[in-house]
């Protein structure tokens, strides 16, 4: 059993400007080192000015996590030398030396394999993002490029207690946190680099190892799985797990040694003299509390009551704001919430996994309404919708009607045509017919043969009823 704690860095992508200057916070797809100013670059004499909207977003997350908002927020300088840190220090927050984070305490409940668990939050702090290092040929590159466009972007660092015991629990925590952030509207976690995690992990008999800059919940699970196996194997072989920092190489699926693990004293924390203490008023806290949107757990409870879906379906649907929003919009139009919920949880998530997509990607409520409408009108079969049309919608972004037309898909509406094929299949498979008379499950083979003969254009329910009727009379 491992001991796991996470440090999650979340960009406040909803902000228009950076944390301490007026540079745009959207640095993506811009030429290197063009989205900068003297404050971003740490030039002498450039003074930071705190973005108050970032404080409000931090307070909203603190309230959502049931944490305690600090009345007095003080920034600190965290010193370390790295090429992506132009000032030689990062403006962050600390729990000692007169500094204080925006939030302490709180928790996130998770569920893994039916087991409920609470992961405690140690603190949430507001800080600036450093620049970005670019390895042209991966970590083996002979040189590294530095892009300061990201420098100064507002970050929230969420530090957990070491309450997780498996990679799956760590992934579940991050997915739940991501859903909370999306519902709050403070971070679009689908953007590259918007949500990154450092994982601290140890196994019995070994030191704590930090694995840095992991880009997604799925990658965190993979990185921790590898690291736990590496540490366990090393100890079994008589080796010693050293306290160190490692990086996750997602292409090679391994962790790579980076440097020896620093202690807090190594960062030489000191109060930031250029930013005065910020006092969070009760009025601000109450205003933000009143403005909080419906959060994932509350939304899941409403789905169970309003749409009569199971608790399991409700939890899965609210694991992504995009998924939950799509469900509500389609369910209200189609009028069959349970069918829509099952389709999204079973079929959509299946294709997301097979196509290597992220949850929420490719979802279009209008296209889903069109797909259900086509099935209900008998234009295509349910099997065609699930196996042919929908995956093409996800891959190409085309409308369901256009895909069905391109592929020449149509449902056979002529009952007599289906009946002829059913009779032919029954005549050609006498042994299967006898088996079906003794065991109703054996009918599945005959149904499959009819669907194969019709290339999936017959309604499976209608085919099954026809076969049962004809077998009973034979």
- For every residue of 379-391, DSSP letters joined together read SS-HHHIIIIIHH
Do 299 and 269 have their domain in common?
A: no
Closest CA to 417 of 458, 374, 449, 376: 458
The contacts of residue 444 (CB under 8 Å, 6+ apart) are none
Cα first-last separation, the chain? 61
Do 302 and 272 have their domain in common?
A: no
Check: CB of residue 21 under 8 Å from CB of residue 49: yes
Provide the β-strand partners of residue 73. 278
Of 254, 287, 320, the residue that ends a domain is 287
Check: CB of residue 387 under 8 Å from CB of residue 404: no
> Mean pLDDT for each consecutive 10-residue tract of the chain (474 residues)?
95 97 95 95 94 97 96 90 89 78 95 92 96 82 92 97 96 96 95 94 94 92 96 94 91 84 74 92 96 96 96 94 96 93 95 85 93 87 88 92 83 71 77 73 78 73 76 70
Domain boundaries, position 421: 415-473
Check: CB of residue 315 under 8 Å from CB of residue 300: yes
pLDDT of 9: 97
On the CB side of 198, how many CA atoms lie within 13 Å of its CA?
14
Do 197 and 282 have their domain in common?
A: yes
Of 236, 259, 287, the residue that ends a domain is 287
Do 107 and 227 have their domain in common?
A: yes
pLDDT of 168: 95
Dist CA 91 CA 104 (whole Å): 18
pLDDT of 138: 74
Of 384, 406, 428, the residue that ends a domain is 406
CATH number of domain containing 452: 1.10.10.410
Do 438 and 343 have their domain in common?
A: no
Closest CA to 187 of 60, 8, 13: 13
pLDDT of 155: 96
Do 266 and 155 have their domain in common?
A: yes
Do 280 and 301 have their domain in common?
A: no
Do 368 and 225 have their domain in common?
A: no
pLDDT of 304: 97
Check: CB of residue 69 under 8 Å from CB of residue 59: yes
Dist CA 144 CA 107 (whole Å): 39
Check: CB of residue 103 under 8 Å from CB of residue 137: no
Dist CA 224 CA 27 (whole Å): 30
Please state the domain count of the chain.
3
Helix axis angle, 415-428 relative to 443-453, nearest 10°?
120
- The answer, as to whether pTM is greater than 0.95, is no
pLDDT of 474: 65
Do 341 and 398 have their domain in common?
A: yes
Do 328 and 270 have their domain in common?
A: no
pLDDT of 19: 97
pLDDT of 260: 63
Do 283 and 301 have their domain in common?
A: no
Do 298 and 275 have their domain in common?
A: no
């Amino acid at each position: 059993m491992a001991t796991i704690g996470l440090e999650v860095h979340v960009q406040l992508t909803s902000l228009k400007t950076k944390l301490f200057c007026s540079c745009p916070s959207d640095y993506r797809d811009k030429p290197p080192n063009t989205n900068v100013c003297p404050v971003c670059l740490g030039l002498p004499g450039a003074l930071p000015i705190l973005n108050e909207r970032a404080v409000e977003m931090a307070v909203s997350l603190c309230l959502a996590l049931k944490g305690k908002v600090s009345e007095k927020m003080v920034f600190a300088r965290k010193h370390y030398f790295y090429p992506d840190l132009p000032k030689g220090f990062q403006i962050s927050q600390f729990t000692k030396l007169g500094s204080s984070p925006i939030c302490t305490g709180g928790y996130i409940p998770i569920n893994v394999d039916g087991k409920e668990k609470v992961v405690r939050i140690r603190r949430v702090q507001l800080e600036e993002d450093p620049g970005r290092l670019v390895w042209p040929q991966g970590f083996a590159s002979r040189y590294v490029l530095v892009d300061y466009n990201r420098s100064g972007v507002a970050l929230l660092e969420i530090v957990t207690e070491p309450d997780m015991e498996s990679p799956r629990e760590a992934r579940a925590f991050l997915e739940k946190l991501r859903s909370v952030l999306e519902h709050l509207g403070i971070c679009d976690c689908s953007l590259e680099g918007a949500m990154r995690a450092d994982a601290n992990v140890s196994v019995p008999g070994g030191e704590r190892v930090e694995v840095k800059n992991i880009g997604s919940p799925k990658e965190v699970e993979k990185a921790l799985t590898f690291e736990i196996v590496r540490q366990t194997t090393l100890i079994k072989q008589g080796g010693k797990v050293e306290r160190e920092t490692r990086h996750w190489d997602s292409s090679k699926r391994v962790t790579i040694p980076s440097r020896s693990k620093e202690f807090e004293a190594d960062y030489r924390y000191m109060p930031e003299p250029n930013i005065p203490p910020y006092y969070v008023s009760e009025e601000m806290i109450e205003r933000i509390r009143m403005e909080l949107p419906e959060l994932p757990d509350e939304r899941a409870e409403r789905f169970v009551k309003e749409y009569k879906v199971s608790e399991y379906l409700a939890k899965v649907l609210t694991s992504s704001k995009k998924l939950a929003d799509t469900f509500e919009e389609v369910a209200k139009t189609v009028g069959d919430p349970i069918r829509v919920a099952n389709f999204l949880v079973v079929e959509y998530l299946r294709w997301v996994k097979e196509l290597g997509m992220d949850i929420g990607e490719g979802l279009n409520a209008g296209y889903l309404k069109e797909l259900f409408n086509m099935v209900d009108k008998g234009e295509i079969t349910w099997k065609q919708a699930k196996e042919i049309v929908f995956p093409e919608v996800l891959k190409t972004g085309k409308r369901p009607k256009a895909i069905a037309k391109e592929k020449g898909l149509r449902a056979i509406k002529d009952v007599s045509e289906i009946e002829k094929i059913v009779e032919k299949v029954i005549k050609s498979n006498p042994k299967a017919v006898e088996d079906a008379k003794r065991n109703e499950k054996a009918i599945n083979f005959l149904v499959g043969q009819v669907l194969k003969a019709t290339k999936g254009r017959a309604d499976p329910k209608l085919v099954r009823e026809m076969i049962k009727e004809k077998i009973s009379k034979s």
